[in-house]
Amino acid sequence: MAFQDNSGDIILDVVLTDEGRRRLARGDGSFRVVKFALGDDEINYSLYDYNASTAQKDLSILQTPILEAFTNNMSSMKSKLMTLTQQNLQYLPILKLNTVANNSVKTYGTIGNFVIATDDNTEDNSHLGLTTSIGFDSDNNVIVGVLFGQNPDIGGGYIKIDAGIHSTDVSTIDPSLVETQFQIEIDNRLGGVVDKDGKTFLSPTAIDDDNIATYIISKNSDPKFVFTPSQKQLTATSSPINGPLASTLEFKIFSSMGLRNSSYLFDTIGTTTAIENNAGDSPAIPTIDTIVRVSGLTTGYAIDIPVRFAKL
């Protein structure tokens, strides 16, 4: 990966996605480019100088180095450009992690991550007497922010995301900007997506060569995951969106069989976290930190959710 020289001619650097390369590799002549995306992740628009002369106002932006195109979908094009037919829109919808609705959706710790208890032993840890160091209180009860990876149907927290306009200046959202589909990307080696009740396990829409699984979730076909919240019930303690809500996404993460039955991935890509228990000991707990990305397919807005898989 490198920077493009942006001081002279404009360079168009284009790469195929992993799915595009897979289809091209078929070699049967069926490959056609029917969709493409543009992004401006590297651009800082606050560099626009209103006080400069006309030719100099955007000079700093135009001279900003930009990255070469690369194919890792978890690292590229987090903010995709979109075309709007309406020219009078003052606000666009955003996604926000809802950590205020109730205790079961609050994240744990200062870094705001969700902890996934990967197996039965981690979910039922009463014999260890863990403190709140990784999500258990002094009475050995699972606290907020901890999800049950092996048995999501019997308890644990969940992840909730609200889509809407974060402003009280408007009361409604244009129908063309309502998020009705979401995309969830997660490392398939570590886990997958299940509904809030822990009973509807989704199959990935696609898995790329980096083992990143993509789930496409629609309001029409997946009402257990995506729904339209009641605007009448919204308060400051029910949503972080300070304005009209368009839709809500709720889901849990289950742990993979590899994490439940083996320590291989914890040994190769994980680390250990010292956990103080009530007996005064500090056992080292294997953990793996990762990112789960959620994108709204209408606006392209995306947020990254830090997740920690833990195994006792």
**Is residue 1 pLDDT above 50, yes or no?**
no
Same domain, residue pair 128 and 150: yes
Please indicate, yes or no, if residue 180 is contained in any of the structural domains.
Answer: yes
Same domain, residue pair 132 and 277: yes
Please indicate, yes or no, if residue 87 is contained in any of the structural domains.
Answer: no
Same domain, residue pair 131 and 25: no
pLDDT attached to residue 32: 86
Query: Among the three residues 21, 55, 81, which one is the final residue of a domain in this structure?
Result: 81
pLDDT attached to residue 112: 65
**Portion of the chain with pLDDT greater than 70, in percent:** 77
Cα separation of 300 and 118, whole Å? Answer: 31
pLDDT attached to residue 76: 64
Across the chain, mean pLDDT equals: 80
Q: Which residues span the domain enclosing 116?
A: 94-310
Please indicate, yes or no, if residue 217 is contained in any of the structural domains.
Answer: yes
Same domain, residue pair 50 and 186: no
Same domain, residue pair 27 and 136: no
Query: Among the three residues 19, 51, 81, which one is the final residue of a domain in this structure?
Result: 81
pLDDT tens digits along 171-201:
888 888 899 999 999 999 999 999 999 999 9
Q: 41 by DSSP, 3-state: which?
A: coil
Can you list the alpha helix ranges (DSSP code H) found in 87-131? 120-123
- For 264, phi then psi, to 5°, come to -60, -50
- The answer to whether 202 and 217 have CB atoms below 8 angstroms apart is yes
Same domain, residue pair 31 and 125: no
Same domain, residue pair 43 and 110: no
pLDDT attached to residue 137: 47
pLDDT tens digits along 20-78:
888 888 889 888 888 777 777 778 888 999 999 888 898 888 888 777 777 666 566 66
Query: Among the three residues 39, 58, 81, which one is the final residue of a domain in this structure?
Result: 81
Interval 136-144 mean pLDDT: 48
Beta bridge partners of 207: 213
Same domain, residue pair 150 and 272: yes
Interval 143-162 mean pLDDT: 83
Number of domains in the chain: 2
10 Å CB burial of residue 23 (0-12, 13-18, 19+) is: middle
pLDDT tens digits along 242-272:
888 889 999 999 999 999 999 999 999 999 8
Same domain, residue pair 100 and 74: no
Distance set, CA 272 to CA 70, 277, 287, 311 (Å): 32, 15, 6, 10
| Tokens representing residue 16 in the block | 């195929």
Same domain, residue pair 200 and 281: yes
pLDDT attached to residue 127: 42
Match 């829109």 to its residue by tokens.
89
What is the rounded end-to-end Cα distance, in angstroms, of the chain? 37
Same domain, residue pair 163 and 226: yes
Instruction: Please report, as a single letter, which amino acid is at residue 33.
Output: V
Please indicate, yes or no, if residue 86 is contained in any of the structural domains.
Answer: no
- Do the strands 302-310 and 114-117 form a parallel or antiparallel pair, or are they unpaired? parallel
